[in-house]
A and B are shown apart, each in its own frame.
Chain A
Amino acid sequence: MQIVSAIIQGVLLGGLYALFAAGLSFMFGVMRLVNLAHGALAVLAAYGTLLLVQAGFVSPLLAMLVIVPAMAALGYVLQRFVLQRTLSESPLPSLLVTFGIAIIIANLLLVTQSANQRRLSLGALDTASIAIGDIRIGVFPILVLAFAVLALGGLSLVMRRTQFGRLVRAVSDDAPTVSLMGANPRHIYAIAAAIAFGLVAVAGVANGVQAGFNPSSGDMLLIYAFEAVIIGGLGSLWGTLLGSMILGVVQTLAATFDATLFQLAGHVVFLIFLIFLPNGLIQRRVRQ
């Protein structure tokens, strides 16, 4: 029973990881940029929400109505005016700049906030659970998983079916040609960054309710998101969801045997995939 419960918890935890991974993998898919500040940005959004709640916003959900658009705007500006300048054949500049941004955010939070673990509260929803036999399943994690599936599904639908999605894919394939057709690739990239930042803000708040956070917890969030993307297979949104769930299940299963194994087990399953299935679960044709 304990094992079944752990598997269910793991799948739900996977929903949270998928939310993190979606933004990371989306930005890489569109502009070949690995955002090393991804985890730090999630933590930044969580602190922003915390500050708004302390300033009188009734609930983190209400505060998100401000934080998510604010983070999306930050994404647009950062991509348009900073990250755009780092895009080149070599991944070096973009990695250095995003890593620098991660360090700046983490230390800014350390200076202005304390190093203590913080948590966002949704009141009764924090601990609400559904009982099925002996197993209790948290309501909030279910909501997070549902949102993750909706977000991934919505994103993949937008990318495949809409004019905007076609534009994004076209820019990602061949930006110079698209700019000849009158579209502005810089604007498209910035919008893609805005979407990714908005997603990571939601993920940061969800993580703040579910697990809590401190100024340096962004590192682990980035690593988990990355592992989920690699396990699932680069470029596949549904692969990312599957990879997130595998990561979550392995972590919670290992933790039922020995709580200190939670992190290590996740890393080891990532290594196993890297050795035996380096292209991930869902392999995608490589576009040139």
Chain B
Amino acid sequence: MTTHAVPPTPTQAVRVAPHIRRFTPASIVGVSVALVLAIVMAVLPYYVPIGSTRQLTDLFVYIILATAWNLLAGFGGMVSIGQQAYVGLGAYGIVTLVGILGLNQLLAIPLVAVACAIIAIPISYLVFRLVGGYFAVGTWVIAEIFRLVTIRFPELGAGSGFSIPPMAGVDRDMRIAIGYWAALAVAVIVVVAVVLLVRSRLGLALTAVRDEPVAAATSGVNVVTARRLVFVIAAAAAGAAGAIVAISALNVQPTAVYSVQWTAFMIFMVVIGGVGSIEGPIIGAVLFWILRELLADYGEVYLIGLGLLGVVMVLVAPGGIWGLLTGRRRVNLFPIGYRLDRRTLAG
């Protein structure tokens, strides 16, 4: 280099500020459809039999769990197999607040979610000392500790579980419908929260670290804070899901709510639908819900099938169903990215 590069001054360069858009045709359609769907879902209990309302509650719980696990693993790069810790904690939060203290169920759900988030903060300092596979098993140990501590409290029903008395003055159908609306509301909140988080500065940092760790680190991305936030949000979401499960079942068994099977289901849904996208986990949750309705009677054979399908999917189609559908094109049904407007560039 013999000459110094002269930095271009504003007068030299003819600058047309490129027009950058959040919304693409796909995401305009996507958000509109999601909005209409949410409204239809909200009035659905008035039109469908109560059995379907109950089944749809399960679907919303799956969407919450899959979206939260995907946030953790797909965006945060943290493969946890201990999310059942917060499902169990959420369920026992309801046991404590509603079953023992007699609080209103709907008021209890946000309180339980906040409690799970607060508990997840010190936990994050512990498990963040482990990486990769050891992080995964570490989170599992935490879940086991929660279970073993829970069953030491006779007030919580110890090992035999706890039955929550139903709300006074509310008939069975209304009770199921309330659980349904709570689940729908939490599912919408979680999906919107993840969309907002992923497109925020922290989300960009996470995506950068996931896709190109070295480049991200050299650009000064503070990834630990971003990961901690993700860990805490995922815990709150799993806790809210556990709370909804407890409210709709009215019976909490420690081995069931702290079962590693919760996380196995989350992983299955995310892997099948497509890890690292917003749409994938929702697709996975819907598919998992349909499969369960059709095949749950087959018990263990069904679980073997799920396991095989999951393994084959990771090996053959790591992008999941959403990856297969979109191929190389970048399609976002939710406005998470930025698009450069070609028309303004040309003009």
Q: Judge whether B140 is part of the interface by a CB distance below 8 angstroms.
A: yes
Residues of A near B141 (CB, < 8 A) are 223, 226-227, 267, 270-271
Binds A, one of B144-152, B189-197, B282-290: B144-152
Given A92-B275, A107-B304, A274-B138, A267 and B132 contact (CB-CB distance below 8 Å) = no
Q: Judge whether B293 is part of the interface by a CB distance below 8 angstroms.
A: no
Q: Judge whether A263 is part of the interface by a CB distance below 8 angstroms.
A: yes
Binds B, one of A98-106, A123-131, A181-189, A193-201: A98-106
Q: Judge whether B310 is part of the interface by a CB distance below 8 angstroms.
A: yes
Find A94's partner among B133, B145, B303 (CB 8 Å cutoff). Answer: B133
Find B308's partner among A85, A92, A104, A229 (CB 8 Å cutoff). Answer: A104
Residues of A near B307 (CB, < 8 A) are 100-101, 103-104, 107
Interface string of B253-277 (1 = CB under 8 A from A): 0000000100010010001000100
Residues of B near A100 (CB, < 8 A) are 307-308, 310-311, 314
Given A92-B275, A223-B144, A274-B129, A34 and B300 contact (CB-CB distance below 8 Å) = no
Q: Judge whether A173 is part of the interface by a CB distance below 8 angstroms.
A: no
Given A103-B303, A268-B145, A36 and B311 contact (CB-CB distance below 8 Å) = no
> Chain B interface residue count: which class?
35 or more
Find B148's partner among A32, A34, A82, A267 (CB 8 Å cutoff). Answer: A267
Interface positions, chain B 13-47, Cβ under 8 Å from A, are none
Given A92-B73, A92-B77, A274-B129, A111 and B300 contact (CB-CB distance below 8 Å) = yes
Between A92, A111, A268, the greatest number of chain B beta carbons within 10 A of the residue's beta carbon is seen for: A92
Question: How far, in whole Å, are A36 and B140 apart by their CA atoms in the complex?
Answer: 11
Interface positions, chain A 209-239, Cβ under 8 Å from B, are 219, 222-223, 226-227, 229-230, 234
What residue in chain A is nearest B131 (Cβ atoms)?
A91
Chain A nearest Cβ from B309, distance in angstroms = 9
Contact B140 A95 (CB under 8 A): no
Q: Judge whether A154 is part of the interface by a CB distance below 8 angstroms.
A: no
Interface string of B109-132 (1 = CB under 8 A from A): 000000000000000001001111
Residues of A near B188 (CB, < 8 A) are none
Contact A101 B300 (CB under 8 A): no
Chain B nearest Cβ from A132, distance in angstroms = 34
Q: Judge whether A28 is part of the interface by a CB distance below 8 angstroms.
A: yes
Chain B nearest Cβ from A113, distance in angstroms = 11
Contact B304 A104 (CB under 8 A): yes
Contact A111 B304 (CB under 8 A): yes
Given A95-B79, A108-B304, A271-B145, A103 and B264 contact (CB-CB distance below 8 Å) = yes
Interface positions, chain B 300-318, Cβ under 8 Å from A, are 300-301, 303-304, 306-308, 310-311, 314-315, 318
Chain A nearest Cβ from B317, distance in angstroms = 12
Residues of B near A89 (CB, < 8 A) are 213
Given A103-B264, A274-B138, A91 and B133 contact (CB-CB distance below 8 Å) = yes
Question: How far, in whole Å, are A110 and B302 apart by their CA atoms in the complex?
Answer: 12
Chain B nearest Cβ from A88, distance in angstroms = 10
- Chosen A-B contacts, 28 in total, with CB atoms closer than 8 Å, are A34-B134, A34-B136, A36-B133, A82-B311, A89-B213, A90-B77, A90-B210, A92-B275, A94-B133, A97-B311, A97-B315, A100-B310, A101-B307, A103-B264, A103-B304, A104-B307, A107-B303, A108-B300, A111-B300, A226-B141, A230-B134, A260-B152, A264-B145, A270-B141, A271-B126, A271-B145, A274-B130, A274-B138
Interchain residue pairs A-B with the least CB separation, the first 10:
A34-B133, A91-B132, A104-B307, A100-B311, A103-B307, A107-B300, A226-B137, A264-B148, A278-B129, A107-B303
Give me 8 other A-B pairs in contact (C-beta within 8 A), A93-B314, A93-B315 excluded.
A36-B133, A103-B303, A223-B137, A223-B140, A230-B130, A260-B152, A267-B141, A274-B126
Residue ranges of B at the interface with A (Cβ–Cβ < 8 Å): 73, 77, 79, 81, 126, 129-134, 136-138, 140-141, 144-145, 148-149, 152, 210, 213, 260, 264, 267, 271, 275, 300-301, 303-304, 306-308, 310-311, 314-315, 318
